[in-house]
A and B are shown apart, each in its own frame.
Chain A
Amino acid sequence: MKTRDILAYSFSAIKLRKLRAGLTTLGVVIGIAAIVALLSISQGLQSTITAQLERGLATDTLLVTAGGGGGAGMGFGGGGDSGFKLFVSDVQTIKGIQNVEVAAAIIQRVGNLTVGGRSEISTIVGVDFAEYQDIYGETFVADRGTIPLDSRNDSVVLGRRVIDPRLNGTMLADANDPISIVWINATSRPPTAVTLPTNITGILKQIGSFGIGGPSDSGVYIPIAQAQALFATNECDLIIVKLRSSDQAVIDDVTNAIKSAFNGEVSAISATAVLNIISNVFSIIELFLGGIAAISLVVAGVGIMNIMIVSLMERTREIGILKALGTKSRTVLLIFLCEAVIIGFMGGAIGVGLGWVLANVVALVFRGGGGFMGNQAARGTFEMTITPVLTPTVFLGALAFGVGVSVIFAIYPAWRASKLKPVDALRYE
């Protein structure tokens, strides 16, 4: 039998049982759609996050945290087992290292902010404004009011979202309006509330992106000295270091120099390393999500096998006729496999389309922001726009996977069909 005739024959068999074939195909559609939707969303998410990080984390910066024992990435959050602490004054040591242009210590605490009659939980960041602006000259810029570089103790600079939660111009307060920051000192016995009543000095322009250590739309910035007084500490959480060059060699040199300056008790991570870590994490997430979606496809495959075996029983006589007319066993095998290919291909094609639509719908819901994520969450995080990415690899891979799974699960029924003896098959009732 010619290939075209085999295809036509298989197709006529599928057409005969439209509902059954449709439901079988649906299994493949769901599996493939799930894979495509999950992968294109996570790839979109990855490229969004990477892009934002690239903006928020300049490639010529290093983040220094206490706790050098662990590998890169362990450093975040500080606090290694050794009990080593990083102090604000350590900035001077780092500034002395060759190729370091500027370094800024950061103290971060979660506090309660009362502004314009509303009370919100916010991240309070203590940092030297002048140094911070040196490092993040593009993002640490005032839109309203000013950022006082002389570190007046009572100045407060707010991220855009703190004052304009929906980013629609409805400002809760403006520069020079009063603001009060309350921090609960849980280490004292009994815990005491420390209050800093002050006025808004400046409001940052909208940043959009986020970065570890870098300015954020939801940050509340106070001078480092003020933070030290308020939080009653000289320890810092993080030191951001700006290098004179973003060469890998310079990054490595300074990283090593910093580590040795603190006897290996700190970790210094470059933005590039962070990007790599995030990229690795996403690869794992993608694999995981793809794996979950693949399970549904395997279920669909079992469905195909089931249907094919039923179909084989029903068509035993037909197979007998085909064989009596001189059809080769191999052709019978191909006829059945072809049915699986058609189902797999149709399911795959529809599934890719549906998955893509699904990914875009999910992205749209995310973009809608507030309603879906809830006000609190939206405010607490950052504004994020996911554009689903459907790479040719995912497209073709999903299609091939759909066809492949269908064919693999059809091999057994097809083989059984091909092995039927014409006499027995013709006698089958």
Chain B
Amino acid sequence: MGAGWNGFLVCCGICGDSCNDGHCALLEIPEQVKKSDAETKLVICLAMVEAVNLKKTYLLGKVPVNAIRGVNLNVASGDFLAILGPSGSGKSTLLNLIGALDKPTEGKLLIEGVDISTLNDNQLTDIRRRVGFVFQFFNLIPRFTARENVELSMSIADHDKTERRKRAEDLLETVGLKDRMNHKPAELSGGEQQRVAIARALANNPRFLLMDEPTGNIDSKTANEIMSLVRGLNQEKGVTTIMVTHDQRLAAQSRRTILMLDGLIVQETVN
């Protein structure tokens, strides 16, 4: 609990002792719901991701590669973070760790307060369902139509067929693909495929959206459209977004940018 706070402060409790790190929001409690005069402010922990001395080493053939060498990072709810860096700087590895696709070698990585390094395979799966992943190469299933691709992530999360269909159609409408939803990926342009991927990523109401070079494989005009779509989702729907890119101009469209080099965060800028 944050220093200097006493009385009836309420915290979501997921970040434990690290509430004083400054990523908690203070809210005035309205008079009507106050239980006593001492209870004036409410602390809400907004930490979505918290990395403490995070390290990841993997083997490339037989050579160990220190992809991440001690990263400390906080991402608050509703944030839009861009991870910038040259290839090999460990930015994708960091994103994969946040998305629970991989486990850290050392250090702590809290996703909504849960340290994923302690989780087993099944529990990691549950985390993945709360994350929306968007990849550089779209990674759609070629034999499924746009709608079926969006539905797939919901069927994985055990949603009902009718519910799935309705939501897939709504989401595709949101990303501007209402009249293309019965097309297969091969019949869609790169930009359209990435929109499908974004719709798929949003299907299970994820707590955050992770994007690995989302515009790396599409032309700049379409890339701008995708970026404004993502910004809109972040601003209007409050979807916490973490985007990996090596494009300075794209990174500048985020709220906060960290620069990674050789597995370490070397610079942090607020845009």
Contact = CB atoms under 8 A, between A and B. Distances in A.
Interface of A: 1-2, 5, 9, 12-13, 15-16, 317-318, 320-329, 331, 421-423, 426
Interface of B: 96, 99, 101-102, 121-122, 125-126, 128-129, 133, 135, 139-141, 143-144, 152-153, 155-158, 200, 204
A5 B133 contact: no
Nearest to A17: B143
A48 to B, nearest CB: 52
B157 A326 contact: yes
A322 B156 contact: yes
A1 B139 contact: no
Contacts of A326: 125-126, 128-129, 153, 156-157, 204
B125 A328 contact: yes
A252 B204 CA distance: 80
A422 to B, nearest CB: 5
Given A12-B143, A325-B152, A325-B156, A421 B122 contact: no
Nearest to B121: A329
17 contacts: A1-B158, A5-B155, A9-B155, A317-B139, A321-B141, A325-B133, A325-B153, A325-B156, A325-B200, A326-B128, A326-B153, A326-B204, A329-B125, A421-B102, A422-B102, A422-B128, A426-B139
B226 to A, nearest CB: 19
A406 B135 CA distance: 35
Given A321-B139, A331-B156, A422-B102, 18 more contacts: A1-B155, A12-B143, A15-B143, A318-B141, A321-B140, A321-B141, A322-B156, A323-B125, A323-B128, A324-B99, A324-B135, A325-B153, A326-B128, A327-B125, A329-B121, A422-B101, A426-B101, A426-B139
Contacts, number: 61
A320 B141 CA distance: 11
Nearest to B131: A326
Nearest to B158: A2
Task: Give 9 closest A-B pairs by Cβ, nearest first.
Answer: A326-B129, A326-B128, A5-B155, A422-B101, A325-B153, A423-B102, A321-B139, A328-B125, A327-B156
A324 B133 contact: yes
Contacts of A323: 101, 125, 128
Contacts of B155: 1-2, 5, 9
A318 B135 CA distance: 13
Nearest to A8: B155
Contacts of A426: 101, 135, 139
Nearest to A15: B143
Residue of A2, A317, A325 most packed against chain B (CB within 10 A): A325
A11 B87 CA distance: 39
B128 A325 contact: yes
A328 B139 contact: no
A325 B100 CA distance: 11
Contacts of B129: 325-326
A5 B139 CA distance: 20
A421 B135 CA distance: 16
A314 to B, nearest CB: 11
Contacts of A13: 143
Nearest to A422: B101
Residue of B133, B153, B156, B200 most packed against chain A (CB within 10 A): B156
Contacts of B125: 323, 326-329
Contacts of B152: 325
B147 to A, nearest CB: 14
Nearest to A421: B102
A10 B233 CA distance: 34
Residue of B99, B121, B135, B204 most packed against chain A (CB within 10 A): B121
A16 B157 CA distance: 24
B151 to A, nearest CB: 9
B122 A423 contact: no
Nearest to B139: A321
Contacts of B139: 317, 320-321, 324, 426
A324 B128 contact: yes
Nearest to A419: B121
Nearest to B135: A426
Nearest to A321: B139
B106 to A, nearest CB: 17
Contacts of B102: 421-423
A325 B139 CA distance: 11
A195 B254 CA distance: 117
Contacts of A421: 102
